[in-house]
Structure 1
Amino acid sequence: MRLFRSSELLGIARETMEFILEACEDTHPNEYMGFLRAEDARTLGLDRSGQVITDILVVPGTESSPVSATVKTNMKPNDLKSVGSVHSHPNGVLRPSDADLDTFGQGEVHLIVGAPYGWGNWKAFDNAGEPTHLDVVDVELPENRFFDFTQEDIDAELERDDGGFFSWLR
């Protein structure tokens, strides 16, 4: 893994955008909010350098209502994979409010998804709240990337008699 990511954001993975649309619809009539994380495009099989949005991070303790979603800032991670935010507007309005603009400072792209949460019901914005283009990219996302262990690792650990890392599960 490189220490600094490429500054070019190539797009968002189709599967990730599908997840966003479903999550926004499932949360309706309340707002949905999450943070966008990206991976190096070369690790996803693309022949270009740059980043592709692949993950949505939902921060524990996020409070949501029909008119806002609030995140405790001390819970928001600050990592190199963070590239922006996503939130829904249950009223369908696809432009940032003044409150949205106050949160757009971190990251390079911010998505707003409006009801009825279809493919034509989202827009991307830069930090200043100006519309920007974001391609939907067809890449295959690796399965179970979040944890760096397999089910076999868990089973082997659970079979150990010395307590081990997963002893709290027993």
Structure 2
Amino acid sequence: MRLFRSSELLGIAADTLAFALEASRDTHPNEYMGFLRATDARDLGLNRSGQVITDVLVIPGTTSTPESATVREHMKPNSSRAVGSIHSHPNGVLRPSDADRATFHAGDVHIIVGAPYERDCWRAFDSDGDPRDLDVIDVALPEDEAFFDFDQTDIDAELYDE
């Protein structure tokens, strides 16, 4: 990972978008909600500066209904790779509601996906809720094995450490 990254957001990885569409489809008729993280484009083999959205983080304890999804804000990780949010509109409407706009303050891009959750059933918005362009980029997603590199001994140490 590079110490200094360009903040320009180039797009979303095709596999990341496919994951979010499938997760939204699986959650339907309730809303789906997640947070977006990006990876430096050069770390993905692209010969340009900028970032590509590569991860969707689902926060434990998120509750959802057909009208909304609620995240426990205290569970949201503080990450330098965080770039925005993604959620679904089961009614298929691809524009932000007033409630959506109120949550768009954290991050540069907010994606809404809508039923029937096909490849073209999504739109990106900036922090003001205005539409923005976001390319779908076909790149191999990085292996983030270190995130899952723990066992029961590590869990016990974390739980029972004084």
TM-score, normalized by the shorter chain, greater than 0.5: yes
Match of 1:91 in 2: 91
Q: CA deviation at 1:120?
A: 1.4
Match of 2:104 in 1: 104
Ranges in structure 2 where 5+ consecutive residues have no aligned partner: 158-162
Q: CA deviation at 1:82?
A: 0.2
Is the 8 Å Cα contact of residues 104 and 129 (structure 2) preserved in structure 1? yes
Q: Deviations over 1:92-125 (max 9, x none)?
A: 0000000000100011000000100001110000
Q: CA deviation at 1:146?
A: 5.1
Rounded to whole Å, the distance in 1 between the matches of 2:148 and 2:31 is 32
User: Does 1:113 pair with 2:109?
Assistant: no
1:1-170 equivalences under 5 Å are 1-145=1-145, 147=147, 149=149, 165=154
Q: CA deviation at 1:78?
A: 1.8
Is the 8 Å Cα contact of residues 93 and 114 (structure 1) preserved in structure 2? yes
Rounded to whole Å, the distance in 2 between the matches of 1:31 and 1:60 is 15
Rounded to whole Å, the distance in 1 between the matches of 2:40 and 2:85 is 18
Of structures 1 and 2, the larger Rg is shown by 1
Rounded to whole Å, the distance in 2 between the matches of 1:76 and 1:85 is 11
Rounded to whole Å, the distance in 1 between the matches of 2:19 and 2:49 is 25
Q: CA deviation at 1:148?
A: 6.3
Is the 8 Å Cα contact of residues 11 and 53 (structure 1) preserved in structure 2? yes
Match of 1:161 in 2: none
Q: CA deviation at 1:2?
A: 3.4
Matched positions, count: 157
Extract structure 1 runs of 4+ deviating beyond 6 A: none
Instruction: Tell me: CA distance 1:57–1:167, structure 2 relative to 1, closer, same or farther (3 Å).
Output: closer
Rounded to whole Å, the distance in 2 between the matches of 1:5 and 1:103 is 25
Is the 8 Å Cα contact of residues 38 and 54 (structure 1) preserved in structure 2? yes
Rounded to whole Å, the distance in 2 between the matches of 1:128 and 1:165 is 42
Report the more deviating stretch, 126-135 or 138-147.
Answer: 138-147
Rounded to whole Å, the distance in 2 between the matches of 1:106 and 1:166 is 31
Is the 8 Å Cα contact of residues 4 and 80 (structure 1) preserved in structure 2? no
- Identity of paired residues, percent? 66
Is the 8 Å Cα contact of residues 5 and 49 (structure 2) preserved in structure 1? no
Is the 8 Å Cα contact of residues 11 and 134 (structure 1) preserved in structure 2? yes
